Amino acid sequence: IHYAAIAFDQPTDLRFRYRLEGYDSGWQQAGDRRFALYTGLPPGNYRFEVRATSRFGRESGDTRSLDIVVAPRWWQRPLVQWGGLLALLLVAVGLVRWRMGDLRAQRLALEQTVAQRTRELAAQRDELHRLNAELAALSTRDPLTGLANRRALLARLAEELAQAAAEQRSYSVVLCDLDHFKRINDSRGHAVGDQVLTQLGRLWARHLPAGALLGRYGGEEFLVLLPDHDGARAARLMEELMALLRGSR
């Protein structure tokens, strides 16, 4: 802002002071400088005032003023600012919703992966149980006849003999051997011999009393465990089983 004053005597000795209402806190001493410079004024209404002083220190009685309006830039307007704030808010909400959707998608994918892995582990567990059951069966069952093998027979025998002795109960063990079984293998073949062993085991197992155990001891030998059977009762049972075998021809 340039300003000047009229003086008929020594105009170069004039001194000035000014202020910008709304910006300056008080009068600014300018000396003999005849302009004021303001930069970066915030938007608003201002009034620029200036006074001159003679070389004798006498101040002019008039104060000249200039009203100044600094219009806001387009980005400083309230509507634009509120619009920008709203846009930022919408962007923030959009980002949050996108992130939440992404997290939900990740959680869903993780849940599906966990569910799939759980099913796989359950299938593996079931398969392991099945294999363990087969292994347990193989360790205690004769693979040809399906009866108890020697290992299972001896384990059961040791357990039940100790219990029978402690309770003073009768217990019988019958060892059976098929006579001339080698002739069947030699004349009819081993496949027929295997069928004979299998059919004998099935026939006798169906007619054994509850609690009894029939197993293949080895080759053509079978072992029958009979809890609560004395010698006479065990002999009668075996005669009945032999009669069933003779009648099955």
Nearest to 2 by CA among 41, 30, 27: 30
231 within 8 A of 172, measured Cβ to Cβ = yes
Q: Is 239 a catalytic residue?
A: no
**Residue in the block written with tokens 């693979």:** 143
CB 69 within 8 A of CB 45: yes
> Which pLDDT tens digit goes with each residue over 194-220?
999 999 999 999 999 999 999 999 899
Question: Two tokens at 142?
Answer: 């004769």
Q: Encode pLDDT of 8-43 as tens digits.
A: 667 778 889 999 999 999 999 998 899 999 998 999
- pTM for the model: 0.48
Task: Judge whether residue 249 has pLDDT over 60.
Answer: no
* Catalytic annotation, pick one of 111, 220, 221, 240: 220
Whole-number Å distance between alpha carbons of 151 and 158: 11
Q: What is the pLDDT of residues 172-183, one digit of tens each?
A: 999 999 888 889
pLDDT per position as a tens digit, 225-235: 999 999 999 99
pLDDT score of 139 more than 90: no
3-state SS of the chain is: CECCCCCCCCHHHCEEEEEEECCCCCCEEEECCCECCCCCCCCEEEEEEEEEECCCCCECCCCEEEEEEECCCHHHCHHHHHHHHHHHHHHHHHHHHHHHHHHHHHHHHHHHHHHHHHHHHHHHHHHHHHHHHHHHHHHHECCCCCCECHHHHHHHHHHHHHHHHHHCCCEEEEEEECCCHHHHHHHHCHHHHHHHHHHHHHHHHHHCCCCCEEEEEECCEEEEEEECCCHHHHHHHHHHHHHHHHHCC
HSE of 71 in the Cβ direction (CA atoms, 13 Å)?
2
